[in-house]
Amino acid sequence: MDPTNTDIDTLCEEAENLDLLNWQDFTRSPLEDEPLRINKRVVRYCAFDGCDYSSHVLTNFRGHLLKKHQIQTTTTTPSARRLGAQQLEEIWQQAEARTKQEIQTVAFEQYLDKKVVQQCLVRLVVQERLALSFVEAPSFHAFCQSLNPLVDSNILPTSHSTIRTAIQSHWYEEKLILQREIQTALSKIHISLDIWTSPNRLLFIAILGHFVRQSDGTRRKNLLALRQVAGHSGDEQFTVLRTVLEEYEISQDLGVITGDNATTNDTLCRTISKWQSTTFKLKWEPDSQRIRCLGHILNLIAQAFLFAGSSEHCPEEVLQSIDLEEADGAEVDVVRRNTVRTIGPMGKLHNIVVFIRGSGIRTKEFVSQAHRMIPLDNRTRWNSWYYMISTAIDLEMHVDFFVKNQPDLKQDSLDSEDWEILRTIKSFLKIFKDLTLESEGNSKNLANALPSLWLLQRHITAFVEKHKQGTSNFDFDCLVRGETALSTLNKWWNLLWKHPTYQMATILHPFYRTNWLDTIMQILRISAKEQKAKKESLKKIWLEYLAKHQKLSCNDQPSTGQAKEKGQQKEHGKGETRKRRTTAQITKELEDRSVEAMTERMFGGWASAEAPDEWESYLLGASSKNVKNLLSWWQDDVRRAEFPVLHLLALEIHSIPPMSDEPERVFSGGRRTVSWERSSLNAETIEVIECLHHWLNERYKS
């Protein structure tokens, strides 16, 4: 029943002492011609006579009550506050024999759960990379006791060895969870790996697993191990990798190996192939299941452009020493600075940045003018030259001003022509930065690897053609750089173009299908015979996968005896129950005197044309644009029904990481964990901390 104005006045008088009114008491039910909801939100109608105000926004409705009717309302039910206060008062009254201090003690104890406290502390130490001795600090215990006075040594650990044991225990529990998750994955387990020397001079190999999780169909990456390795060789890497795969019980579920282009990774893959064949009788191709890090390839092409023709004046060992100058406070070597200058404007800029960073006073002076620092290049850090040049160009005025006031940089002064060359280099390198970022991250896959290299090839070719027309020394320098980069790119293009996994990944992108492949083969003037052979080889991969899937499905089907027990007999080649026809049905069929029926009885009918299989059906489909997530596209209910087996192959392919960038992120975190004051950490503790850190971060990011 809706309230009247009299009811409202009474309610307002009763609420004066509480100074609280509930907005719900001033609403009425909608009339027959009034909507109950707008945009799925309930409409509130003002209950005052003569007032036709309504709103589906609560804040607006309360504002109307205040402005129009001078009624201050609250979103909290007043009775709930009164009941809460009454219950609290009853608790105090029932505790006649106990003091308030005793009750507070009981309350504090109820909020102390030793297991929960220790788990939170473990996560704090691991995720924030705190020293294990952190728990021994008196200030830490004082802080905890300020939150709860009853926290003592029975709840909080007071020794670094105790927290280490707790971390190991938590690591073991999390590893069991990861084992169950990875063993039930929807895809093969793909591996990305790399080797790292820690600050305390220990050699580690980071092994990450990439897969599609069964529970939600998302692509996951987890650090399986950061294990000490005896050397860089492929055999030494295999020894550790095999142990890790056996620990997680995924030896027979191994997918591809993604790594940089070191020859040791080729040795590793050949060793894996032999192991899979002899131990499990499985076919593991060391060429097609060896994925080369796309970021590393892009960096090699960029390096070829940057350092083309510099080997005579700036040998490899000098270039390697450049990478060691990044640390702040490094002593400036005049001889080496003269050598680096031979690279050209890039060498001059490098010398300027090293000089600025080589002294705290000089750094402060430059930053006070420019309000930021110029990042230093490093050949092994992707796009570092681009970021250094790009930042310097933005700060060109500040760089020139600083150099003019530094006599030691007189020979490194950049004139207008030098700046123009740097701008040209920046423009050339931008596509490398864009393609690298496009291939990084958990949602990226192999589908764009070949198209990316093709775009880069067109970009470099256009750069070369442009400077072929010029006659200046600058044009000649750009021509040499461009042709060197193009030569390096063609080497990797020829390798990846023949790689079936890269081609299959491109085809299984619903935007490309075979359209991109057909277009490129026509541009490259590949003969019709070769085009047909390439398509047949790709279809062969699909047919082999289909046969393997059907074999596994047959093994999962019930036996003949089980089928008979159910009273059913499956017709061969069909998933239907064969029923026995009655005499009446046979007689009726014979009595059918239509021409079609008699012809069918004479010739037995004709088999209908075989429908295209999943592969052909997919290739004939229309191109799909704006596909943000390939795994989601393939796992859509429509696609799963239309391509029951092909979508599983797509999950296998699109869960492959195109780059080995994740091990590098692990190493960056490891450098923060193994700081100079923690150089005594042993390899086992480092692995436990880094694995647990990675697992927790991946869980909370999802």
DSSP 215-250: TT--EEEEEEEEEE-S-SSHHHHHHHHHHHHHHHT-
Question: 119: how many CB neighbours lie within 10 A of its CB?
Answer: 15
Q: How far is it, in rounded angstroms, from Cα 266 to Cα 150?
A: 59
Q: How far is it, in rounded angstroms, from Cα 302 to Cα 568?
A: 66
In sequence order, the β-bridge partners of residue 211 are 220
Q: How far is it, in rounded angstroms, from Cα 382 to Cα 398?
A: 26
**Which pLDDT score is estimated for 439?**
84
Q: How far is it, in rounded angstroms, from Cα 649 to Cα 653?
A: 6
pTM: 0.76
In sequence order, the β-bridge partners of residue 254 are 189
Same domain, 432 and 409: yes
Cα–Cα–Cα angle for 685, 690, 694, nearest 5°? Answer: 150
Number of domains in the chain: 4
**Which pLDDT score is estimated for 147?**
79
Q: How far is it, in rounded angstroms, from Cα 554 to Cα 552?
A: 5
Where residue 553 falls (left for φ over 0; alpha for ψ -120 to 50; beta otherwise) is alpha
Same domain, 321 and 303: yes
Same domain, 233 and 320: no
254 within domain boundaries: yes
- Among 443, 470, 488, identify where a domain stops: 443
151 within domain boundaries: yes
13 within domain boundaries: yes
**Which pLDDT score is estimated for 679?**
87
Same domain, 48 and 100: no
59 within domain boundaries: yes
First to last CA, the chain: 48
Q: Are 486 and 460 in contact (CB under 8 A)?
A: yes
**Which pLDDT score is estimated for 463?**
95
Same domain, 184 and 309: no
In sequence order, the β-bridge partners of residue 191 are 209, 257
The secondary structure element, H or E, covering residue 577 is none
Amino acid at 114: K
Tokens 């890269």 label which residue? Answer: 502
Q: How far is it, in rounded angstroms, from Cα 337 to Cα 353?
A: 11
- Among 419, 443, 467, identify where a domain stops: 443
Same domain, 72 and 154: no
Q: How far is it, in rounded angstroms, from Cα 653 to Cα 644?
A: 15
Question: 72: how many CB neighbours lie within 10 A of its CB?
Answer: 11
The parent domain of residue 154 ranges over: 95-158
Q: Are 612 and 620 in contact (CB under 8 A)?
A: yes
Q: In a 10 Å sphere around its CB, with 0-12 CB exposed, 13-18 middle and 19+ buried, how is residue 79 labelled?
A: exposed
Same domain, 336 and 391: yes
44 within domain boundaries: yes
Which two three-digit tokens encode residue 598? 């008699």
In sequence order, the β-bridge partners of residue 17 are none
Q: How far is it, in rounded angstroms, from Cα 75 to Cα 23?
A: 7
Question: 639: how many CB neighbours lie within 10 A of its CB?
Answer: 17
491 within domain boundaries: no
Angle between helices 234-248 and 263-280 (to 10 degrees): 50
The secondary structure element, H or E, covering residue 193 is strand 189-197
235 within domain boundaries: yes
- Among 120, 138, 158, identify where a domain stops: 158
Same domain, 211 and 317: no
Same domain, 333 and 378: yes
Closest CA to 432 of 481, 472, 469, 485: 485
Same domain, 308 and 436: yes
Give every residue of the chain whose pLDDT is below 70, as ranges.
1-20, 75-111, 153, 309-333, 379-380, 441-443, 555-612, 701-702
Q: How far is it, in rounded angstroms, from Cα 239 to Cα 229?
A: 9
Same domain, 286 and 402: no
Same domain, 75 and 101: no
Q: Are 660 and 564 in contact (CB under 8 A)?
A: no
506 within domain boundaries: no
Angle between helices 234-248 and 160-183 (to 10 degrees): 80
**Which pLDDT score is estimated for 337?**
77
Residue 595: helix, strand or coil by DSSP?
helix
